Amino acid sequence: MTKINRERIVDTALEIIATDGESGLSMRPLAARLGVTPMALYRYFPDRDALLLALVERVSEEIRLPEPAVAPRERAVALALCLHDFLVGHPWMIRLISTGRLTSPAGLRFPEGFLGCARDAGLDDATAFVFYRTMFASVLGQAPITSTRTQTGVLVTLSPRASAEATPAVAALAPRWPELDALATPAAVFGAVADLLAVH
The pLDDT value given to residue 182: 87
The pLDDT value given to residue 140: 94
Q: Which domain holds residue 114?
A: 72-199
Q: Of 122, 140, 125, 141, which Cα lies nearest the Cα of 196?
A: 122
The pLDDT value given to residue 42: 94
| Number of separate domains in the chain | 2
Q: Domain of 84: which CATH number?
A: 1.10.357.10
Asked if residue 67 belongs to a domain, the reply is: no
Instruction: Looking at the structure, tell me whether residues 42 and 103 fall in a common domain.
Output: no
Report which residue type is found at 103. T
CA 200 to chain centre: 27
Task: Provide the 10 A C-beta neighbour count for residue 187.
Answer: 14
The pLDDT value given to residue 106: 81
User: What CA–CA distance (Å, rounded) separates 82 from 105?
Assistant: 16
> Which residues in the chain come in under a pLDDT of 50?
none
The pLDDT value given to residue 68: 81
Instruction: Looking at the structure, tell me whether residues 81 and 45 fall in a common domain.
Output: no
Burial of 158 (0-12, 13-18, 19+ CB in 10 A): middle
Asked if residue 160 belongs to a domain, the reply is: yes
Instruction: Looking at the structure, tell me whether residues 53 and 109 fall in a common domain.
Output: no
User: What CA–CA distance (Å, rounded) separates 91 from 148?
Assistant: 10
Instruction: Looking at the structure, tell me whether residues 168 and 98 fall in a common domain.
Output: yes
What does the angle CA 193 – CA 21 – CA 186 come to, to the nearest 5 degrees?
20
The pLDDT value given to residue 149: 83
Quick check: 186 and 146 in contact, CB under 8 A?
yes
Q: Domain of 11: which CATH number?
A: 1.10.10.60
Instruction: Looking at the structure, tell me whether residues 50 and 112 fall in a common domain.
Output: no
Instruction: Looking at the structure, tell me whether residues 19 and 107 fall in a common domain.
Output: no
Asked if residue 65 belongs to a domain, the reply is: no
Instruction: Looking at the structure, tell me whether residues 114 and 34 fall in a common domain.
Output: no
Instruction: Looking at the structure, tell me whether residues 12 and 95 fall in a common domain.
Output: no
